[in-house]
A and B are shown apart, each in its own frame.
Chain A
Amino acid sequence: MTKKYILGLFRDEVPLLHAVQELRKEGNSIHEVYTPFPVHGLDDALGYKRSRLPRAAFLFGCLGGTLGLSMQAWMLGVDWPMNIGGKPALAWVDFVPVTFELTVLITALGMVATYLVVSDFIPGNDPKMPDPRITSDVFCIAISAEGASASVGSRLRQLGAEVQEKEVEL
């Protein structure tokens, strides 16, 4: 569904960051900011909370470690114990390498899958972005036109932006 947005386009991240701080200080609500590369401090300026992906990663790690260790213990210790020179079947030290590898594998796959799903990054998805130059050299502040103060366009211009109004899906 498309909506009307006021877009402030910048060519450099320093005025962009400044503009975001100023606009938020003046009580404007910013829909989203688009940049060609990660701009240091932008998420703080926008008041974004820290990503919860590390927590997802931790949970997947616990799952992988538990699965890995219990799989080996069950297979060699319970389901089919083998007598190898009278050594114990449940030789847990031997299970460390595979447990470690499975922990890493399941953490990585689980976290990346979570990342793709929560970000709506699915192969073939249309990019919901206001301007195609964003992936090269344009930095863009998108403010929803609905409910925005009348002066926000001129304020953006004052802060060094090139201002556009666009009907897009973001």
Chain B
Amino acid sequence: MFESPTRRPLITGKTSYSQITEDIIKPIEAKPTKWWYLGFTVSLAALGLWLVSVTYLLFTGVGVWGLNKTVDWGWDITNFVWWVGIGHAGTLISAVLLLFRQKWRTAVNRSAEAMTIFAVICAGSYPLLHAGRPWLIYWVFPLPNTYGSLWSNFNSPLLWDVFAISTYLTVSLVFWYVGLIPDLATIRDRAVGLRKKIYGVMSFGWNGSAKGWQRFESVSLILAGLSTPLVLSVHTIVSFDFATSVIPGWHTTIFPPYFVAGAVFSGFAMVQTLLIIMRKSMRLEQYITLNHIDVMNKIILVTGSIVGSAYITEFFMAWYSAVPYEQYAFVNRAFGPYWWAYWTMMTCNVITPQLFWSRKLRRSLTASFIISIFVNIGMWFERFVIIVTSLHRDYLPSSWLMYSPTWVEIGMFIGSLGLFFTLFFLFAKFLPVIAVAEVKSIYKTSSEEEIAKTAAKEGINLQEAHAHTNGAH
């Protein structure tokens, strides 16, 4: 395949196939660094807080949350939607970018997919616990029962959500594991003793045969083709939870695309936050380069702009609809008692990503890190604004109430971050954080050394070519 030799490298420095194996597998074989222990301990502590909050909740009941008759969805659903949204980047990177043959995905897909799975687990915990009696959660599935059988209500978007989230978790997990098998075999073939046994079982007898790779590529491509509409359907269905209701501020047809864009936006921000920490702490700068950070920031800019336009469209449509309730809901969002949440959302989601028009900021680690945190905060507030401000002023002013979380809700939120990061630290320790085989497959076209060789052969001055593309940026 022809590849322009003036393209920016995706693997920098001196590398070779065996060096790639070494660089990525080494951290799994070595003792964890003190940074790993520190991060893991902090995450475990937060996870402990989650256990305390959830135990108290289960023994007492959902009344321990700050919900009331008017605001009956609060932090729980805010956190649910926030986590599901974060879970969207992994599949987008691994599936959509695979279909578009974007080579830069190879360095980031593995950790982004892991993040997807952990985020969806965190998300799932909220409706599960909001159900009040999680041990009866199988009631949501259409199982024969003694009431008739009285089946689940397939007309309800909440049930669609059950199917969407559980399918999404299952398919993401399968996609992730299928991709992991060859890399687990790489660990197996370097290891001895118990580690060899464990990774041997986990790698299913992978042997790297040409037939095996042919099937592997075929399966990956179809899973990518399936995951692409799946990822779009998941947040669409989450948005149906709101859009199919008749609550002013929720009852809008713009919700599905607006939620999907917001999900990708927040997901990439979370990937960015984690990758910037990971490349530094695991010394993966050769594989997760500034070019990777740059392209992801471009996606944050695009999706952030879509989200910003959606906010403005929503406001315009509320006015244009001439429905007083709809208009009131939006004026109340921006200037009512929760104005601070609205303007936090606007600042973090609409203004900060626009800074990425600057190439300098896109390629600055500090700026990318700070902006990605801002986006995470902004997207959390977006869900809070949509849920709480739309609910807290009912049709009857006598039921206008304010909502604030209790320690249990705060504990569960911080705790779910603990759950997420605990799982992520375990992943970083025991599994290859970069898809080893896939990075090797782009080595010839995308490594700094090979690009330099091709350029020399064709008599191209790389510095000049790059200076030229910089100007075009």
Contact = CB atoms under 8 A, between A and B. Distances in A.
Contacts of A11: 17
A123 B155 contact: no
Interface residues of A, number: 63
Nearest to A82: B153
Contact of B185 (A33, A116, A135): A135
A56 B150 CA distance: 35
Contacts, number: 189
Given A36-B208, A79-B151, A108-B170, A121 B226 contact: no
Contacts of B202: 123
B205 A134 contact: no
Nearest to A121: B204
Contacts of B414: none
Interface string B136-164: 00000010000011111111010110011
B226 A108 contact: yes
Contact of B174 (A43, A50, A108): A108
Interface in A108-123: 108-109, 111-112, 115-116, 118-123
Contacts of B21: 36, 135-137
Nearest to A41: B1
B29 interface: no
B60 to A, nearest CB: 34
Contacts of B230: 101, 104
B150 A80 contact: yes
B290 interface: no
Given A80-B148, A97-B237, A39 B186 contact: no
Interface in A41-63: 42-43, 46, 48, 50-51, 53-54, 57
B149 A79 contact: yes
A137 to B, nearest CB: 4
A72 B163 CA distance: 13
B226 A127 contact: no
A163 interface: no
A27 interface: no
Nearest to A72: B154
Interface string A22-49: 0000000000111111111011001010
A76 interface: yes
Interface string B326-350: 0000000000000000000000000
Contacts of A137: 16-18, 21
Interface of A: 11, 13, 32-40, 42-43, 46, 48, 50-51, 53-54, 57, 71-72, 75-76, 79-80, 82, 84, 91, 94-95, 97-98, 100-102, 104-105, 107-109, 111-112, 115-116, 118-129, 132-137
Given A76-B153, A107-B226, A108-B174, 19 more contacts: A34-B209, A37-B441, A38-B213, A39-B210, A42-B210, A75-B152, A84-B155, A91-B155, A101-B163, A101-B167, A108-B170, A121-B181, A121-B204, A123-B204, A127-B188, A127-B189, A129-B207, A133-B189, A134-B189
6 contacts: A34-B208, A34-B209, A43-B214, A134-B189, A135-B21, A137-B17
